[in-house]
Amino acid sequence: MTTNFDAATYKPPHYFKENEVPGMTDFLNTVKFTKDNLVPVIVQDMDTGDILMQAFADRAAINETLQTKLATFYSRSRQGRWCKGETSGHFIEVNRVFLDCDRDSLIYLSKPIGPACHTGSKTCYFEEVLIDSGSSPSDPPRVSQERVKKSDVHAPLTTLYALEKTIRDRKQALEDETAGRSSPVPGAKPSWTAKLLGKPTLLCKKIREEASELCETLEKKEGADRAASEFSDLIYHAMVLLSLQGVEFGKVLGILRKRFAQSGIEERAKRAPKAGDDPSKNE
């Protein structure tokens, strides 16, 4: 939607008034708005799980969001309607809307079109609050803040994305050393990730080994813990391969989500055959 976006000519999509939509008023009446008639909204990336931003919505904004599937809020600073992206083209496409157990906050499960933060970062959350232990048990802890300007440097990362970042950092360090831009750190421990990145044949061999060992956990009834361990090994090595090919993990999750509503058998049947494929193996 951001391609050749022109805010001057953009026209919001049509939507109906609250009282024209069956069930809309009944739903909005159950939401516990503040005394200012607002409710906090958390925007979450539907694929990565990233918390992108937090804003407020009134009845009109929720009504519009549910119909247009574009994240719309009430801006307290502007004192009015605010559809994210109408000036920048960085819209947020809302896939699903969730109401919490107390009915006083919402989640917009979404797909961002461009950065969510006005700073140009993908998320508004990139300043971590740290608490350090005192120098002795009798000393109080100390709270500090990590102030950074870009979320790609210090954004909160879930486990797989933290792993992806570690692999990416190893790859960059290896490239810098190879190009002579940096020297190995004296006394540093050897990196298995760096070794795999530098030896694609070894990497592919390990992936095949780990896949075989995962299958053996089922065939030999080795149990859930063993299966989880072998799957962890397989994921790690597969993510090193993705990094080597420049594929972001978010792209994989996006492909998986698109397949949710499609039969796996139908999806496989539509794939273009590879040279040497035996169709009978897909049966």
pLDDT of residue 281: 59
Average pLDDT estimate for 117-123: 89
More confident residue, 98 or 259: 98
More confident residue, 47 or 220: 220
Average pLDDT estimate for 200-206: 97
- For the cut 70, the answer to whether the pLDDT of residue 149 exceeds it is no
The answer to which of 99-103, 193-197, 259-263 has the lowest mean pLDDT is 259-263
- For the cut 80, the answer to whether the pLDDT of residue 73 exceeds it is yes
Identify the CA nearest to 31 among candidates 41, 46, 17, 44.
41
Confidence label for 283 from pLDDT (cuts 50, 70 and 90): low
Q: How far is CA 163 from the centre of its chain?
A: 13
pLDDT of residue 157: 84
pLDDT in tens, 222-270: 999 999 999 999 999 999 999 999 999 989 998 998 888 777 676 677 7
pLDDT in tens, 30-55: 999 999 999 999 999 998 889 999 99
Cβ atoms of 70 and 92 within 8 Å: the answer is yes
Confidence label for 106 from pLDDT (cuts 50, 70 and 90): very high
Q: Is 143 helix (H, G, I), strand (E, B) or coil?
A: strand
Confidence label for 57 from pLDDT (cuts 50, 70 and 90): very high
Residue 135: what residue type?
Answer: S
pLDDT in tens, 173-191: 888 888 888 777 676 678 9
- For the cut 60, the answer to whether the pLDDT of residue 3 exceeds it is no
- For the cut 70, the answer to whether the pLDDT of residue 278 exceeds it is no
Residues 229-248: b if buried by 16+ CB within 10 A, e if exposed: ebeebbbbbbbbbebeeeee
Q: How far apart are CA 83 and CA 116, in angstroms?
A: 12
Cβ atoms of 92 and 112 within 8 Å: the answer is yes
Of 122-136, 143-157, 246-260, give the range with the top mean pLDDT: 246-260
| Predicted model pTM | 0.77
